[in-house]
């Protein structure tokens, strides 16, 4: 097994998603994931504390990109315009591998209560990151919280549409997340 090959983290994620899909989350061991990825168990643990964390491998980066986009939005941007800037920045980091893994990841999460719980925690964390970034811009707490929640919902809806779209659809993720945010903005006006 290769010990220091580049791309080990990405290979571990792909191997885990494949194994979760093939045999279920509970039946998959860290040893199997490491073997499938062509690395040692100790390499696995250098990258992830446990197999559950594989699902949120890019969460810190995603949170950082969302908050950077929000912070760098023009000073006169509305809270949702700032969220759109964050979504655009974060979406730019999602490439073909993310799109290819999405349906398998969705199936693995749907089949495991533990993974559903971890996915929900990821959403809460992303909403909190956006809320904090908006508050730092001077947005009042309730507005920042609502905009942060809408941002997460838009990201999830846009990601689902992007990953399920025909592979001939060359639109990048940002097109889908921004469209989802606009749909949610329009829908919110009918809440009355």
Res 5: pLDDT: 53
pLDDT in tens, 23-47: 988 899 999 999 999 999 999 999 9
pLDDT value at residue 4: 46
Which tokens in the block code for residue 43? 């390499």
Under the banding of pLDDT at 50, 70 and 90, the label for residue 3 is: very low
Question: Does residue 187 register a pLDDT over 80?
Answer: yes
Q: What is d(CA 166, CA 40) in angstroms, rounded to the nearest whole number?
A: 36
pLDDT at 1: 43
pTM of the prediction? Answer: 0.82
CB 156 within 8 A of CB 91: no
Note the pLDDT tens digit of each residue in 60-114. Answer: 888 999 999 999 999 999 999 999 999 999 998 887 778 888 888 888 888 888 8
Average pLDDT, whole number, for the chain? 89
Other C-beta atoms lying within 10 Å of the C-beta of residue 152: 22
């Amino acid at each position: 097994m290769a010990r220091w090959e580049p791309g080990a983290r990405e290979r571990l994620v792909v191997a885990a998603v494949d194994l979760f899909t093939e045999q279920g989350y509970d039946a998959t061991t860290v040893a199997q994931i490491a073997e499938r990825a062509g690395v040692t168990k100790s390499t696995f643990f250098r990258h992830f504390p446990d197999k559950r964390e594989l699902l949120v491998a890019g969460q810190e980066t995603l949170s950082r990109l969302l908050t950077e986009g929000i912070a760098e939005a023009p000073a006169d941007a509305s809270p949702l315009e700032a969220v759109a800037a964050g979504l655009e920045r974060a979406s730019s980091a999602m490439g073909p591998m993310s799109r290819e893994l999405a349906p398998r990841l969705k199936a693995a999460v749907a089949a495991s209560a533990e993974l559903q719980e971890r996915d929900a925690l990821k959403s809460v964390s992303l909403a909190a990151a956006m809320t904090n970034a908006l508050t730092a811009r001077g947005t009042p707490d309730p507005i920042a919280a609502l905009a942060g929640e809408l941002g997460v919902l838009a990201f999830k809806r846009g990601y689902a549409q992007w990953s399920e779209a025909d592979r001939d659809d060359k639109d990048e993720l940002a097109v889908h997340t921004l469209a989802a945010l606009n749909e949610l903005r329009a829908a919110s006006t009918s809440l009355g």
